[in-house]
Amino acid sequence: MTIAVIGAGVAGLAAAWELTRAGADVTVLESERRPGGVVVTERQGGFVAEGGPDGWLDAEPHIPPLAQELGIAGHIVRQAARGSLLWTGSTFERLEEGRAAALLGIEARLEDVKAGFASFAGGMGELTDALAAPLGGRIKMPLGVTGIAQAGGTWRLAVTGGMVVDADAVVLALPVYSAARLLEAAGVSGARDLAEVAYFPSLTVSLAYQESQIGRGLEGTGYVTPPEADGVIRAVTFASHKFPGRAPAGHVLLRAFLAPVEGEPAIVAHQELRGVLALSGEPLWTRTFFWSRGIPRYPRGHAARVAEVRQRLERLPPLAIAGAGVDGTGVSACVKSGREAAQVVLRRTSGS
Ligand SMILES: Cc1cc2nc3c(=O)[nH]c(=O)nc-3n(C[C@H](O)[C@H](O)[C@H](O)COP(=O)(O)OP(=O)(O)OC[C@H]3O[C@@H](n4cnc5c(N)ncnc54)[C@H](O)[C@@H]3O)c2cc1C
């Protein structure tokens, strides 16, 4: 019994973990050269910089048990600083707990935001690394799936380079615009509508400084700017205050979230931060991350469309969909989604 997982983001990796634990023969096909999808942690010189998610809401229940199974539960760290600020253009004002999230369009219950965030000591990449490690060579990279078709009661996958992979069951854990295209071509009616989910671009710059370069005291986890503000910075996380271990002693790591920008993002971010945080000198280093399609936002009726497509999939050989594009945008929701998709195909392949 061969099960193919398409996409090695956190949802696909969680699915592969669940399947492997159940004894299935799993192959993961990933179009990029590294697993993790938008989860990217870079470590250099004692700094831990995130290119994608930096944590999850502590109230969300799906990551700690998985971390326990993977042996990394002891690496979970909790938010060290509380509260955030609003930059008015000339001064900082303290924001009520939860207001910063609302200003940034993060959809979460206020009491969950108030309960704070959690992460891994070595960054969110610890989770995807721990999920990928036991899979070893069963993650095939870079191998993008270009088509899926029924072949009797099983699936035949076309992959880049003209290869074909046969599988008894499939977990499709792709950005939903890609999943919709593959499903539509495989004749799943209604699948095309899933592509109505909009993905917003994300541009962030991580900047490292010595503490002595920062003229203004850093209070809380960071600051946001009002939507009508001048400048390109929409929010700044004081990364090394938010979670422990993000910068070596005597140093600070900042992460700026930018609107689309003309020019070099790192230079623009530093220039704007210089005024706001009374910075002196230049950053020790910077790292820019850009996702042209970052975080999905669902249109009205999304859940019903997903449910309809899932119903249609029941009439086909075992195939389940998972990921941020269908079941919730956070890492925790993606873990749940991946594991549940694995359970669906396991149930169907065992005939129960
Ligand atoms: C900048 C940013 C910050 C975020 N911050 C947070 C946060 O703080 N907390 C939080 O909970 N969430 C956050 N999120 C959201 C969360 O990180 C993502 O929604 C989640 O990681 C998505 O996981 P996924 O597996 O569904 O998709 P992805 O990570 O997109 O993985 C899909 C995988 O499929 C691969 N793929 C695509 N096409 C093919 C193909 N044809 N064949 C094979 N493989 C293919 C891709 O290369 C990728 O590896 C953030 C997201 C971004 C972008």
Q: Which residues make up the CATH 3.90.660.20 domain(s) of the chain?
A: 41-123+198-296
Residue 231 token pair: 């400048």
Report the nearest atom of ligand 1 relative to the CA of 36: 49
pLDDT in tens, 50-96: 999 999 999 999 999 999 999 999 999 999 998 999 999 889 999 98
pLDDT classification of 111: cutoffs 50, 70, 90: confident
Q: Which of 64, 63, 40 is nearest to 52 (CA)?
A: 40
C-alpha 254/C-alpha 49 separation (Å) is 9
Query: In this predicted structure, what is the pLDDT of residue 266?
Result: 98
Residue 20, pLDDT above cutoff 70: yes
Q: Which residues make up the CATH 3.50.50.60 domain(s) of the chain?
A: 2-37+127-197+298-350
Residues framing ligand 1 (Cβ under 6 A): 6-12, 29-32, 37-39, 52-56, 144-145, 173-175, 178, 202, 204, 291, 294-295, 323-324, 329-332, 334
Expressed in angstroms and rounded, the spacing between residue 324 Cα and the centre of ligand 1 is 7
C-alpha 179/C-alpha 192 separation (Å) is 9
pLDDT in tens, 131-159: 999 999 999 999 999 999 999 999 999 99
Query: In this predicted structure, what is the pLDDT of residue 139?
Result: 98
Query: In this predicted structure, what is the pLDDT of residue 281?
Result: 98
Expressed in angstroms and rounded, the spacing between residue 298 Cα and the centre of ligand 1 is 15
| Nearest protein Cα to ligand 1, atom 36 | 7
Rounded to the nearest integer, the mean pLDDT of the chain is 95
pLDDT classification of 351: cutoffs 50, 70, 90: low
What's the whole-number mean pLDDT along residues 192-219?
96
Expressed in angstroms and rounded, the spacing between residue 203 Cα and the centre of ligand 1 is 15
Quick one: what percent of the chain has pLDDT higher than 70?
99
C-alpha 234/C-alpha 76 separation (Å) is 28
Contact 261, 203 (CB under 8 A): yes
CATH superfamily, domain at 2-37+127-197+298-350: FAD/NAD(P)-binding domain (3.50.50.60)
Q: Kindly give, in sequence order, each residue whose CB lies less than 8 Å from that of residue 153, ignoring residues fewer than 6 positions away.
A: 168, 317
Report the nearest atom of ligand 1 relative to the CA of 324: 26
Indicate the class that CATH gives domain 41-123+198-296: alpha beta
**Lowest-pLDDT choice from 56-65, 96-105, 307-316, 336-345:** 96-105
